[in-house]
Structure 1
């Protein structure tokens, strides 16, 4: 994110939108864009590529929350949602849709900056967790492929597990590739030959 945060405010009521913009200007230096209609929301947000999306809703429904949350790209950027009231389960639905901050009792100017900061921090934390999870899954898959390739080398050459790994490692070094790449190639080739 750049030094000056770009914020898209989604608010259909013009007076409420102006109040939010004024509150943001009082809270710091931001590049602010207001979207006054939910029609084509995803396209409008994508066109502006904001750092943060702030959504203000008077009376949300579960479908509206999910639609707004998904349109705002919660996996790409922090989304803070302010609602005047919330029925049972609506906060869960918003969080499950990826909203970083879900605030009931509407938007209060004094709370705006700390809530935006919390939404950004929470988004970054979850982004790190998603990245770590993806890397862990990839490493586990690579480990499985390497184990399969070691088993194939052990069977074909009549060597121990350590010797099979050494053969894979040497082949990887000779080809300037990772062991996982050589193992995947071996497993794929064996699959084609069987």
Structure 2
């Protein structure tokens, strides 16, 4: 116990010296799930505990992660493996795509294809080769920053996609209104806009209603 306490104290000092006491407030409350198969497991565990992270689970193989990660409530996944097989790689990529977990991946060895796939998938931080556990605070910072950046980019893409879909709806609805021969394109748009304001709805919602009504009348006349 004395040795372990001294070890944790040493890790704390090393983190403070390397990062000038820049331990994040978020790190102090992070719920971390570990996947470690190397001899560094105890040192990584000590480091995470020294940072104040809550360790909510641990497995030695990524293959076990899907069934355990979600139930653990973890917001951060730290992976440290000797190497990564194709199946284990697919598991990590699936977790990256399907969950909101921030991920740090360390591999003692990896081919260029594995490294490229991890980077392309948006993994928060990837380290190939030796890992200094005292660098974990910086890696967590990098991983969280990249995770947040990708989340914002995805939200922007979703908004742009929604905007494009709305524009298509509005254009189709304008076409229906113009089909009567009584409205120009500008008049059709203003008619949709006025109706949307009167009904406290978006122009896209009103346009969808116009298209549904037009489809209903078309089916009734056939």
TM-score of the pair, normalised by structure 1? 0.88
Do the aligned partners of residues 7 and 187 (structure 1) sit closer, same or farther apart at CA in structure 2, a change above 3 Å counting? same
User: Secondary structure at the residue paired with 2:74?
Assistant: coil
Aligned to 1:60: 84
Shift of 1:8: 0.8
CA–CA separation in structure 2 for the residues paired with 1:43 and 1:104: 27
Per-residue deviation at 1:82? 0.4
Equivalenced residues, count: 192
> What secondary structure, in the 3-state scheme, does the structure 1 residue paired with 2:131 have?
coil
The match for 1:162 among 182, 186, 195 is 186
Do the aligned partners of residues 3 and 158 (structure 1) sit closer, same or farther apart at CA in structure 2, a change above 3 Å counting?
farther
Residue of structure 1 in register with 2:171 after alignment: 147
- The answer to whether the Cα contact below 8 Å between 1:95 and 1:102 also exists between their aligned partners in 2 is yes
Q: Which moved more, 1:30-39 or 1:15-24?
A: 30-39
State the structure with more CA Rg.
2
Give the one of 114, 134, 140 matched to 1:90.
114
Offset of residue 21 of structure 1: 0.9
Aligned residue in 2 for 1:32: 55
Alignment check: 8 A CA contact 1:172 1:178 kept:
yes
Deviation by residue 1:3-41 (Cα, 9 ceiling, x = unmatched): 61111111245x532211112233x22111341243531
Which 5+ residue runs of structure 2 have no aligned equivalent? 1-25
User: 1:104 Cα deviation (Å)?
Assistant: 0.5
Contact 1:53 1:72 in 2 (8 A): no
Equivalent pair of 1:41/1:72 in contact (CA under 8 Å): no
Q: Does 1:122 align with 2:151?
A: no
Please, which moves more after superposition, 16-25 or 123-132?
16-25
SS of residue in 2 equivalent to 1:156: coil
Seen in structure 2, the aligned counterparts of structure 1 residues 140 and 95 have a Cα distance that, compared at 3 Å, is: same
Task: Give the deviation of 1:73 after TM superposition.
Answer: 6.0
The one of 22, 30, 34 equivalent to 1:9 is: 34
Structure 1 residues 124, 154: CA separation in 2 closer, same or farther (over 3 Å shift)? Answer: same
Which string of whole-angstrom CA distances, capped at 9 and with x for unpartnered residues, describes residues 55-106 of structure 1?
Answer: 1110222332222342466641211100001112111122334422111014
The 5-angstrom pairing of residues 98-113 of structure 1 reads 98-113=122-137
Root-mean-square deviation (CA, aligned residues, Å) is 2.1
Do structure 1's residue 183 and structure 2's residue 207 form an aligned pair? yes
From the superposition, tell whether residues 73 and 56 of structure 1 become closer, same or farther in structure 2 (CA, over 3 Å).
Answer: farther
8 Å CA contact retained: 1:59, 1:83: yes
Moved over 6 A (4+): none
